Amino acid sequence: MALEHPHELLIQRLRSLGALDGEEQEAVRALPARVRDFAENSDLVRQGERPVECCMVLRGLVCRYKMVAGGRRQILAIHFTGDLPDLQSLHLAVMDHGISALTVARAAFFPHDAIRQLGRRHPNVYELLMKQALIDASLFRDWIANIGRRTAYQRIAHLFCEVFMRMRKLGLAEEDSFRLPMTQAELADATALSTVHVNRVLQQLRRERLIVSSGDVHAIADWDGLRHAGDFEESYLHHD
């Protein structure tokens, strides 16, 4: 299984975005990689930093976040195994946000230099990386709309739809359930709500039998219902 092997995982991700020929795959395999483990709640990359590597999630749940005045946190994105949460650092010198581990996590780090060289020699690989970055931006746009113009109930339903679809595509979800080890406080930071309100909305979603949760695994009991409740329209995921 390619799971957890950095290069194979990266190749798998790139191939899910477009074709890669053998030579390109070899070039990816030749990338230097450094693997590091992270404790829950530790930063993979800190805001303000000037990274010299891009990271890829190998294991665990990772988020990007920003702090605002008053010490409140906004989670900007959630990332799973195989995701590349800081491709922008290839071209933007300083981190405008942090990347942090929501659970214990493991990540691979690929040096910018090496990626850039690879990109120059194999423009197709570079384009696939950029395609991934553009998909990330598409998710940001959707989060703006979700947080800006949907009710708490819709927001949470929408987030669950997104997470489920993405995990399905990555082979990280079951047929109709997924494990999302986030506390309600973290869900609150992702949806711009309070912990208490997240709790109440989750209860409502369960009461209405849209989801059935036990611990941190959530079963989609009524996909059409959830999708409708969350005003979810998946084209922004660009899953093709």
Q: Which of 15, 149, 179, 209 binds a second copy (CB under 8 A)?
A: 149
Query: Which one of a second copy, DNA, none is in contact with 130 (Cβ closer than 5 to 8 A by kind)?
Result: a second copy
Q: Which of 12, 184, 222, 225 binds DNA (CB under 7 A)?
A: 184
Query: Which one of a second copy, DNA, none is in contact with 3 (Cβ closer than 5 to 8 A by kind)?
Result: none
Q: State yes or no: residue 153 binds a second copy (CB under 8 A).
A: no
Q: State yes or no: residue 42 binds DNA (CB under 7 A).
A: no
Q: How far is the CB of 140 from DNA (least distance, A)?
A: 20
Query: Which one of DNA, a second copy, none is in contact with 127 (Cβ closer than 5 to 8 A by kind)?
Result: a second copy
Tokens of 26: 């070899």
Q: How many CA atoms lie within 13 A of 140 on its CB side?
A: 12
* Per-residue binder mask for DNA (CB under 7 A), 149-168, x = binder: --xxx---------------
Q: State yes or no: residue 71 binds DNA (CB under 7 A).
A: no
Q: State yes or no: residue 126 binds a second copy (CB under 8 A).
A: yes
Chain centroid, CA 234 distance in Å: 15
Tokens of 124: 């197709």
Query: Which one of DNA, a second copy, none is in contact with 183 (Cβ closer than 5 to 8 A by kind)?
Result: DNA
Q: State yes or no: residue 69 binds a second copy (CB under 8 A).
A: yes
Q: Which of 11, 180, 202, 229 binds DNA (CB under 7 A)?
A: 202
Q: Which of 51, 60, 98, 119 binds a second copy (CB under 8 A)?
A: 119
Residues from 179 through 198 that contact a second copy (CB under 8 A): 192
Q: Which stretch binds DNA (CB under 7 A): 17-25, 44-52, 119-127, 147-155?
A: 147-155
